């Protein structure tokens, strides 16, 4: 035997140590042996072949333009979301909890939004402080007393979930504005089936390719009443937006036009799109631009991305916006702390997916506790996304902690803090072989009349050793996320390869 043969025959999982963390692929679970099969298939492929095939798969992503754009120092760089070929597995039982928990949360978020924009029971009852809601920059007085169909404000929701060292699922945050990432859920499965059919073969998984059809159905349901065959469009900031690929993906999966602000025009309080045969009516807009940019006559006057008069047309009920205006108040990191109580208040239930314990620095005790424990806590700005401005106490330098302290004292209400969660890990292909890397999960829920949750979600992986930051803008990658079918409910003879 040559030395290289000896190396090739070593099982790359033999040296794998997940440490004190919950491991998503090596911990014993009720998965019908799926994880063990994946491990042995990967071992059979061997590290070298795995690397070569992973590189080829990533090259496919570049060729296909499945990229996002990073802007820094006025240059634009197209990057792929690094793809890790070792899948993350959710068992049928785990998924039942997540699915029910996400539905519960979305229901509560919508009930909360309806309440604060109408009767204001929850603040009158003192469950959530009034100034936290009505003084919030994302609260929109324009929404007061405004009816939305089925009481749905958050039509598309992304719920960020992590797992602690015991494997307990915890919600880290809600994304109720314009959550992104769902395109990678679907594209990762496509990529997996093209590049690693031998890992997927025979696995009984929930398919992920129904998202576009479900989304379109919801968008049609929420169209203004009385419209039989609604015209849905996806409103994008355009080709220079970092998430443009996802906008393309969603428009294609729904089979609707991807429009930019300048393609739309408001006349007689109705929204029209400019086509080769003149103006055609538009009924539902899945908008991927923020509230502030929607209508320069109402919000930011310098916005070039929006449509003058859009809010007027919408207030007259001639067009539906998804998500509704003003949902940002519900996914604010300050409101997040109250979510378990909000769920209890509206649904009379305990949260199926618990929160991470959160200290609100606008409250005296919260601030004092945070300042006293800066070295142990994660400090996050309220209302930021993309992982910016976060200080992870146990890993920060003394200087960074001082910077955080100054920022906190200067504007306490802009901050919350949480204990460091020992995020779960999953085996990930790295230069140094198969290594544990931290990851989270963002399932996507679509709500029209009812809520549907795409099986699985986006598993974002911190590709750097020990890192807890999984955001794509900060070098995070992703994994194909499998939801195993229940043996009782799975259709007979279904092979993963057929269902993708």
> Rounded to an integer, what distance in angstroms lies between the CA atom of residue 54 and that of residue 480?
13
Instruction: Name the residue nearer to another protein (CB basis): 181 or 237.
Output: 237
Residue 236 beta carbon to another protein: minimum distance, rounded to whole angstroms: 9
Q: Any bridge partners for residue 419, and if so which?
A: 377
Q: Tokens 């043996």 appear where?
A: 487
Residue 23 beta carbon to another protein: minimum distance, rounded to whole angstroms: 36
User: What DSSP designation does 229 have?
Assistant: S
Contact call for residues 26 and 39 (beta carbons, < 8 A): yes
Instruction: Name the residue nearer to another protein (CB basis): 172 or 232.
Output: 232
Encoded tokens for 245: 């690929």
Residue 257 beta carbon to another protein: minimum distance, rounded to whole angstroms: 5
Contact call for residues 466 and 472 (beta carbons, < 8 A): no
HEC letters along 426-469? EEEEECCEEEEEEEEEECEEEECCCEEECCCCEEEECCCCCCCC
> Rounded to an integer, what distance in angstroms lies between the CA atom of residue 183 and that of residue 248?
9
Instruction: Name the residue nearer to another protein (CB basis): 100 or 304.
Output: 304
- Which of 291, 328, 292, 331 is CA-nearest to residue 416? 331
> Residue 137: what are its φ and ψ, rounded to 5°?
-60, -25
Q: Any bridge partners for residue 70, and if so which?
A: 77
Residue 252 beta carbon to another protein: minimum distance, rounded to whole angstroms: 5
Which residues of this protein are in contact with another protein, per CB under 8 A?
A: 63-65, 76, 229, 237-240, 244-245, 248, 251-252, 257-263, 273-277, 280, 304-305
Residue 65 beta carbon to another protein: minimum distance, rounded to whole angstroms: 5
Instruction: Name the residue nearer to another protein (CB basis): 42 or 250.
Output: 250
Cβ-based burial of 106 (10 A; exposed 0-12, middle 13-18, buried ≥19): buried
List C-alpha distances in Å: 497 to 33, 236, 375: 18, 33, 48
Instruction: Name the residue nearer to another protein (CB basis): 67 or 471.
Output: 67
Residue 421 beta carbon to another protein: minimum distance, rounded to whole angstroms: 38
Instruction: Name the residue nearer to another protein (CB basis): 259 or 441.
Output: 259
Q: What is the DSSP string of 61-72?
A: HHHHT-EEEEEE
Residue 458 beta carbon to another protein: minimum distance, rounded to whole angstroms: 21
Cβ-based burial of 385 (10 A; exposed 0-12, middle 13-18, buried ≥19): middle
**Pairing, β 83-90 against β 75-80:** unpaired
Cβ-based burial of 17 (10 A; exposed 0-12, middle 13-18, buried ≥19): exposed
Residue 415 beta carbon to another protein: minimum distance, rounded to whole angstroms: 32
Instruction: Name the residue nearer to another protein (CB basis): 115 or 260.
Output: 260
What is the longest distance spanned by two Cα atoms in the chain?
81
Instruction: Name the residue nearer to another protein (CB basis): 73 or 487.
Output: 73
Residue 72 beta carbon to another protein: minimum distance, rounded to whole angstroms: 13
Instruction: Name the residue nearer to another protein (CB basis): 243 or 353.
Output: 243
Instruction: Name the residue nearer to another protein (CB basis): 241 or 359.
Output: 241
Residue 123 beta carbon to another protein: minimum distance, rounded to whole angstroms: 39
Encoded tokens for 304: 């070039």
Q: Give the angle subtended at the CA of 193 by the CAs of 190 and 194, to the nearest 5°.
A: 85
């Amino acid at each position: 035997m040559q030395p290289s043969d000896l190396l090739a025959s070593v099982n790359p999982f033999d040296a794998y140590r997940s440490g004190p963390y919950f491991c998503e692929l090596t911990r014993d679970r009720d998965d019908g042996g799926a994880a063990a099969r994946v491990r042995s298939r990967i071992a059979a492929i061997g590290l070298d072949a795995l690397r070569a095939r992973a590189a080829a798969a990533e090259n496919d992503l570049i060729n296909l333009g499945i990229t996002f754009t990073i802007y820094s120092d006025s240059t634009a760089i197209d990057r792929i979301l690094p793809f890790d070929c070792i899948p993350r597995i959710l068992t049928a039982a785990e998924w039942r909890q997540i699915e029910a928990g996400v539905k519960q949360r979305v229901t509560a978020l919508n009930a909360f939004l309806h309440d604060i924009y109408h009767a204001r029971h929850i603040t009158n009852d003192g469950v959530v402080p009034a100034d936290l809601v009505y003084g919030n920059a994302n609260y929109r007085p324009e929404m007061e007393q405004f009816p939305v169909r089925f009481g749905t404000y958050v039509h598309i929701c992304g719920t960020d979930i992590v797992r602690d060292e015991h494997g307990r699922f915890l919600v880290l945050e809600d994304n109720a504005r314009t959550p992104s990432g769902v395109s990678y859920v679907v594209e990762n499965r496509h990529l997996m089936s093209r590049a690693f059919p031998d890992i997927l073969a025979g696995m009984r998984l929930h398919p992920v390719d129904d998202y576009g059809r479900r989304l379109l159905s919801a968008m049609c349901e929420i169209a203004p009443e009385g419209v039989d065959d609604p015209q849905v469009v996806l409103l994008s900031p355009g080709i220079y937006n970092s998430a443009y690929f996802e906008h393309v993906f969603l428009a294609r999966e729904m089979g609707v036009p991807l429009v930019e602000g300048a393609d739309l025009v408001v006349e007689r309080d109705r929204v029209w799109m400019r086509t080769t045969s003149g103006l055609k009516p538009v009924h539902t807009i899945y908008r991927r631009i923020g509230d502030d940019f929607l209508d320069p006559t109402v919000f930011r006057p310098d916005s070039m991305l929006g449509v003058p008069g859009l809010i007027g047309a919408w207030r007259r009920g001639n067009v539906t916006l998804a998500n509704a205006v003003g949902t940002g108040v519900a996914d604010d990191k300050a409101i997040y702390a109250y979510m378990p109580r909000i769920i209890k208040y509206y649904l009379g239930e305990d949260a199926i997916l618990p929160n991470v314990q959160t200290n609100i620095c606008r409250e005296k005790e919260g601030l004092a506790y945070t300042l006293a424990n800066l070295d142990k806590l994660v400090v996050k700005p309220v209302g930021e996304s993309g992982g910016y401005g976060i200080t992870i106490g146990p890993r920060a330098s003394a200087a960074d902690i001082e910077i955080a302290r100054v920022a906190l004292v200067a504007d306490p209400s802009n901050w919350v803090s949480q204990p460091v969660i020992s995020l779960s890990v999953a085996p990930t292909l790295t230069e140094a072989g198969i290594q544990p890397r931290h990851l989270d999960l963002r399932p996507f829920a679509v709500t029209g009349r009812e809520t549907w949750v795409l099986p699985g979600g986006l598993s974002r992986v911190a590709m750097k050793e020990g890192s807890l930051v999984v955001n794509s803008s900060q070098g995070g990658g992703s994994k194909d996320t499998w939801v195993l079918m229940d043996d009782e409910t799975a259709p007979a003879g279904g092979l993963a390869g057929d269902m993708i």
